[in-house]
Structure 1
Amino acid sequence: MKPLGRSILILLCIILSHASFSQTKNNPWLVNFGANAINNPVRDQDLDGRFKTWNLNAAGFRLSVGRLITNKVTFESVFSLNSIEENTPISEELQGVEYPYISLDGMFKYQFTKGLGLLDPYATLGGGYTWLDTIGAGTVAGGVGVNIWVGDRFGFNIQSVYKHAFKEYGLQHYQHSAGIVFRFGGKDTDGDGINDDVDACPDLFGIIEANGCPDADGDSVIDSEDLCPNDFGPTTMRGCPDNDGDGTPDKYDKCPTVKGAINDDGCPRIDTDGDGIDDRFDKCPKQPGVKENQGCPKVLTPQEKQQLANLERQKNLDRNAKIKQQVTNDINNYCKAIVFNYGKTSLSPEGKKALDEIYKIMNLQKNMKFHVTGHTDNVGSKATNLALSEKRAASVKNYLITKGISNSRVTSQGYGEENPIADNSTNEGRIKNRRIEIYITN
């Protein structure tokens, strides 16, 4: 048996050394060579427990050749050589006798991965014929194993298979093996790692994602069908980018950064000046114009220009008057909450809160000037009331200045009891007359 084992080993090395020159990254063929051990864990009663539990012959080997059928399924032809040793010989003459063990199997292997990583586990199932000396029996086999890939083509294999004989005199046993494994096979003309039989562009270096065709920008649209081969783009855009996502590829989009309709060359319908003419066709997009003048203003006569200026001036006056009225109303609403400590010119906490809100309004209107007026009821002398109203108006003015209003923008004056807005003969009327009012002066 030993000379036979060495001869087969030499032949296998010659085959593998030749195969290594034709291997590619996409190798459908697989050759596995290594040692195997026969494990007979339960001694068969019919065979009188005559064989050792573990059997390993140094000259024995296991050789298999497989071909990938689909992405994860391989069919493998297996030849195994070993020997089984007598355990309780019938006679002294048989003590230590070894019987040749030979098996031929056909196995289907299902890979749990595609063999692209370091570990490539699989399950195997099949059947064959096993001889022990000159007695043979058909078997069914199943097991698991793993390939440990060191590179694209070379790796190590570990496998355990249980074999069940159909005949009663057959040996029910496990076969464990370990060895080296090589991948090789298909033609790869362009050297891109994808075999010609599955390469859509066998003469052009390509990538797996594009079925072997070149794809310079890596967008999964092959260069021959890519309208923008050097710019990454989705397949729905024929490989062209569409930065604004409006469905018009940038290559044909006259407004590539703004969404628009395809019928409008990818541009939005924008009318900045509101003259009813799209900016794309408006020669004066920021000036209202007329269609007859391509969106530019109509050339006016001196009289028409004066009329237009008058209208614009009146529009500005009306706008300013509206703003002033709104500011006046807002300020005087807060003025109603301005309260002084009784008989004094110092502001109460509620009064300060109201003035804080008035300050915010004044601060927004940078060009407006204001006049603060103070008023009292008729209780007391006129001179006393006039002085009190002036001090309170000045107190409000000074508070606003400390908040940040310029001194040049605010003045104050007291009017005492001269301008009542309610009847001083009632308490409610006198409360209303004791007030602060603020006016816009420009």
Structure 2
Amino acid sequence: MKNLSRLLFAMLFVLVYSNANAQDKNNPWQITIATNAVDAYPSGDGAPFSETIFSKYVDVDNYNILPSLSSVSVSKYIGDGFSFGIAGSLNKIENWGEDANGDALSVDDLSYYAADGTIKYNIGEVLDWKTFEPYLGVGGGYTWIDEVGAGTLNGTLGFNLWFNENIGLTVQSAYKHAFEDYLNTHFQHTVGISIKFGGADADGDGIYDKDDACPDVPGLEAFNGCPDTDGDGIEDSKDSCPNEAGLAELNGCPDTDGDGIADKDDACPTVAGLKALSGCPDADGDGVRDGDDKCPNTPGAAANNGCPWPDTDGDGVLDKDDKCPQVVGTVANNGCPEVTEEVQKTLNEYAKTILFDTGRSTIKTQSEGVLKDIISILNEYSTATFTVEGHTDSVGRESTNQKLSESRANSVKDYLVANGISTSRLSAVGHGEAKPIDSNKTRKGRANNRRVEINLIK
């Protein structure tokens, strides 16, 4: 008996030690260390369900109790509330049934050995009871009294009372019906401590698969078994930079220059900069990042590579807006000089001296000098537009005079265009004898009326 107790204790020690680090609330394995009591009453009339079967169920005078480690069972959860287990137990029998007077029958220190297998149904799981788990069981086994043994059919009723996720109290009562007459039908009661252990851990991270959100990848308990590869306290699934330690506010990405822009989005990751410039600096604040700014310390324009626009002619109009950047002009005239009344007067004094062949639109060669002077003035005011106007005296038919004035105006215009003045800046019109500036009754007056004018279009 003593040797068998030692053997059972050794089996228990090995099982508990090898699984002590693997216990978990979801673990399917359960081991129970118990003390058992064997009650051979009632033997009755041999009927398995006689009237006397529970009449002395709690009469401890008939119990054979071995107050030490005397039963060990191991069971595994199968699923849907069912588990299967095997148990080994021993006892010392001093009372075996009753005599005709109802007194316990004493025997001479018989040895009791039993090996049983049981399928249990956990009622507590079905009812979702976490702490108190009643169960029912059915199974069979073999029981020896000294060296005589017989098979048994067992019915089991019991409960587990869990103190925490792994350790609890188990109380069980089994009715064991013997198939042979030489072995009495009897009860075996057990009370013991149970330990749950042995869950699956596919990735070996110490977190069992049932609780592991990442069962195939080693991880951390803080993240339900999911990894944090870079160790920055942000699990990989939520980490935009899982291989580089970073900041929580940047979803786990680093910010080397501390400008609040993650390195992966920072065009200048080693120099603090602005979000609007993708993390690059702008020393002069002109909106052009320093790397692209040819004048990084002077505010300028993006279109001018970060440099200020020049004003070459110094007229207060920047070259980018100055239609005459090399000539001093006015702001009102987009940087170009304006044609004054004095210039207009001078222009027309020259124009009036242009001579034509009599009755024709051909310009006389002696007028080339004055035409050059006119061209010089027009070039000075390169953005101004003008109308060349032809006039005649009243001699002759009005229709003829009209055509002649138009023809002479166009001749002057053509000359100017042929000598470099853009055609877009000139137009020509003839007024005939309609706009005299002097009397047509005198030779001098008629000479004054025969003229060409070049007037500014405003």
TM-score, with length taken from structure 1: 0.42
Q: Return the index of the structure with the highest Cα Rg.
A: 2
TM-score, with length taken from structure 2: 0.41
Relative to its length, the structure with more helix (as a share) is 1
